[in-house]
Structure 1
Amino acid sequence: MAFDTSVFSQKELKEAVNKLEELLSHSKVVLLGAGASFCAGLPLTNQLTDSALRSDKLSNDSKEILNAIQNSFVGASPASHIEDYLSELVDWLAITTRRSNRNVDGSKVTISGIEYSNEQLLKAIDEIKLAIFDVINISVDSEIHERFVQALHRPIRPGKDSHSGTIDYLVMNYDTLIEDSLALSKLRYSDGLEGGVSGWWNPSAFEQNNLDARVFKLHGSINWAEHPPSTTPLRIATYLKRSQQQASKIMIWPASTKYRETQLDPYANLLHRARCALNPQGGSQRVLLIAGYSFGDAHINLEIERGLRSSNGNLTVIAFTSDSKPTGILESWYNNSAINEQVLIFANNGFFHAENEIISEKNIEWWKFENLTQILEGGV
């Protein structure tokens, strides 16, 4: 459905768009969640969950474990999803691993009355990753994402001066749409891997001069694999025989787990760089643009709030949400007088910024990634 831009005949909403354009002339960080990939043909989190749970990659043990975990989340608000279940599994794995490493006799854990070993949990995690890989590893349309990155890396309005500098992309998704779109747009970027179709993890690649973008894959990527003895990512060309083992060692990890935080690279390195991106130094102004994200990752929410509080007003958050008005953590920030001047919320039925509240009777739908892209291109 085409974007109904007639809603911007309301003067206050048009002024909100002008404010957006003005802010995006500053140094930028972009945070993207699953909603940003939907227009390209990839599933939303709930759709990914349904498809993964039906996958033929899952053994009976894995299905039993997942069913037990899913039942434990009945009544969750917001609704639980596959990353929650994977997080639970990883937490159980941390317990069994710790017990096994200490040679404890009773190293198994009990889930819904059934005991599972460290090996069974590892197998279940690998199978779930394979299921996720199968759902996401499909043909997609990168047109909107190419337009999105091109709009961010050039002046939004012709004739307006805009020096985008290096843009940091904090990507929550496992897909490679942003990397592909940057490359196809001839924008120099680093995702922490060097090489080409095949590559290896080298975080110093983020330090290269003259980069247009840095991409921090905070939950890993479907084209990253772990090949022992190394525990850091490799990207293996699909036509190489080694790639046949890649799917079982996919380096993706869920949002809410402490287990991966104990790994120095790549997770801790990426999180550290994200933290630095959200904490501008030396009085410089930085804008964080958030799209397609449901604020379900407590770690990331904490880092954003920490950035808001510690930046002395130099970090501004622009958040797009499909909710009619601020809810959850966005409502908390909106009602917090210590930071709400730094938070602009573009909701489905209004614009909310500190004391400024603009309500629309129509659905604005500027939160849809394709519509936001049109706005960034100056199409409003």
Structure 2
Amino acid sequence: MTEDLSSLRDEAFRDPIDQLKQLLSQSSQSFLFGAGCSRCANLPLMEELTDQVLKNETLSRNTKDILEFLVEEFKGPGVSTIEDYMSDLIDRLSIAQRRHDCKVDNCMLKLDKEYSLEDLRRSLEEIKYVIARSIIDKEIEISTHRNFIRAVHGMSRSGKLLNSPAVNYFILNYDTLIEDSLALERVPYVDGFSGGVTGWWDSNWSRNEDIAARVFKVHGSIDWCLLEGDVLPRRIRPGIKSISHDERFMIWPAATKYRETQRDPYAQMISCMRKILRPSINTDAILTICGYGFGDSHINLELDRALRESEQRLTIVAFTNENKPNGQLKKWIEDHDVQDQVRIYANRGFFHGDKQIESNSDLPWWKFETVTRLLGGER
């Protein structure tokens, strides 16, 4: 059912919408997408994904026991997800690995019972496999993402791109919706790999200037894996079973980013992100954030630093389903050093610097589907 946009036609919101369209028509565009942008494609939100993994019947008894233990450990007033459980498991796996490397007599780690390094590693891979299957096995509705790509890249009917700088996509999701949509709309892009459906990581990929888009999969991807003996990811065609995989699905939960910061490909992607969000003199950059709940402290830190170090040349356009700015967005909008650089489109209002336009009814402009329609010219 198509969302009713009548609430956005109020005269009070004409300027914020016109300004949004003007900002998103400028050069040097970047987007940061979270799980909320994949919901319209029939993919689960993090809470739904967590429930699916916890209830999955294919998990081994050890993995089920470990997850039950971690769920109990995380009990409290806050909300925890499968990414939190994975991060905790990775922390414990690191402890077990360190003991193993130091040739400690007893490398077993105590949770609900004792587990070996191999037990923990196997359980982590089982969880990753279930997460990947929860995405791969879905019937995906990709039309909204294709419409978004058409709107952003100004595709003509002939399929040729209009002359414009490369658009940067920082993706926090494990799915491949943006890559698939770019390919379906014949938009030349790079995502770190040379080759094709089966490919290898190319450290020089971000220097390619003859493209229309760059895709940065900051949390990894369901089509990435690490082969035995490799330190950088590969992309392997589904169905190839003759290759020994050390780490079948190369996906990283948010909280492990501190550990990964000095490693490629993550270090390379973050380095590119820092450069992109700190434009050179006489240029500006726009970063549009959609579908992201600001739950990754490492990403939040990068964004905060970029705002403060960009010398006012970075503008962040943030969409949130909260009625008004909370958390990181609230900190920015109340900070006189950066508040003019942040424009917040919330469920019940628009916030920019000292300006607030509030609404008594819901404003669906924070949804990825609505952003797509607005960019497509609808009002």
Structure-2-length-normalised TM-score: 0.93
Distance 1:39 1:247, change over 3 A: farther
Alignment partners' CA distance in 2, 1:232 and 1:47 = 30
Q: Deviation of residue 163 (structure 1)?
A: 6.4
Alignment-mate amino acid for residue 283 of structure 2 = S
Q: Give the Cα separation in 2 of the matches to 1:367 and 1:38.
A: 13
Determine whether 1:320 maps to 2:319: yes
Structure 2 residue 65 is matched with structure 1 residue 64: yes
User: How far 1:95 moved relative to its partner?
Assistant: 1.1
Deviation at 1:26, TM superposition (A): 3.3
Residue number in structure 1 paired with 2:90: 90
Structure 2 matches for 1:129-140, cutoff 5 A? 129-138=128-137, 139-140=139-140
| Map 1:178-257 → 2, pairs under 5 A | 178-242=178-242, 249-257=248-256
Shift of 1:317: 0.5
Whether 1:150 aligns to 2:150 is yes
Give yes or no for contact 1:174–1:220 (8 Å, CA) kept in 2: yes
User: Which residue of the partner structure matches residue 40 of structure 2?
Assistant: 39
Give the counterpart letter for 2:8 in structure 1. F
Deviations 1:191-248 (A, max 9, x none): 10111111111131221122111100011110111111112111122243347x6696
Q: Is the 8 A contact 2:36 2:290 kept in 1?
A: yes
Amino acid at match of 1:310: E
Q: Equivalents in 2 of 1:242, 1:236: separation in Å? A: 11
1:153-194 alpha-carbon deviations (Å, 9 max, x no partner): 129xxxxxx964111100001110000000111111011011
Q: Report how far residue 110 of structure 1 moved.
A: 2.2
CA positional deviation for 1:53: 1.1
Offset of residue 8 of structure 1: 2.5
CA distance in 2, matches of 1:152, 1:350: 24
CA distance in 2, matches of 1:40, 1:175: 10
The aligned length equals 372
Take 2:92 and 2:239, find their aligned partners in 1: how far apart are those partners? 36
Matched letter for residue 52 of structure 2:
S
Give the partner amino acid of 1:117.
S
Cross-structure match for 2:54: 53
For 2:248 and 2:240, the matched residues in 1 are separated by 15
Matches of 1:278 and 1:120 in 2, distance apart?
41
Aligned pairs for 1:317-356 (under 5 A) are: 317-356=316-355
RMSD, matched Cα: 1.9
SS in 1 for 2:97: helix
Q: Percent identity?
A: 42
Distance of aligned partners of 1:107 and 1:258 in 2 relative to their CA distance in 1, 3 Å threshold: farther
Deviation at 1:360, TM superposition (A): 1.1
Which runs of no fewer than 5 residues in structure 2 stay unpaired?
A: 156-161
Q: Which residue of 2 aligns with 1:158?
A: none
For 2:16 and 2:256, locate their aligned partners in 1 and report how far apart those are by CA, in whole Å. Answer: 37
CA 1:246 to 1:37, structure 2 compared with 1: closer, same or farther past 3 Å? farther
Indicate the SS of the match to 1:346. strand
Local SS of the residue matching 2:357: strand
Tell whether the 8 Å contact from 1:182 to 1:189 is kept in structure 2 after alignment: yes
> Does the CA-based 8 Å contact 2:257-2:298 persist in structure 1?
no
Superposition TM-score, scaled by structure 1 size: 0.93
**8 Å CA contact retained: 1:292, 1:321:** yes
Distance 2:101 2:59 in 1: 27
Contact 2:46-2:81 at 8 Å conserved across structures: yes
Relative distance call for 1:164 and 1:293 in structure 2 (3 A) is farther
Tell me, in whole angstroms, the C-alpha distance in 1 between the residues paired with 2:343 and 2:300.
Answer: 15
Are the equivalent residues in 2 in contact too, given 1:61–1:124 (CA < 8 A)?
Answer: yes
Distance in 2 (alpha carbons) for counterparts of 1:198 and 1:6: 46
CA distance 1:239–1:105, change in 2 (3 Å): closer
CA distance in 2, matches of 1:55, 1:178: 27
> Which residue number in structure 1 is paired with residue 265 of structure 2?
266
1:173 to 2:173 alignment: yes
Contact 1:288 1:315 in 2 (8 A): yes
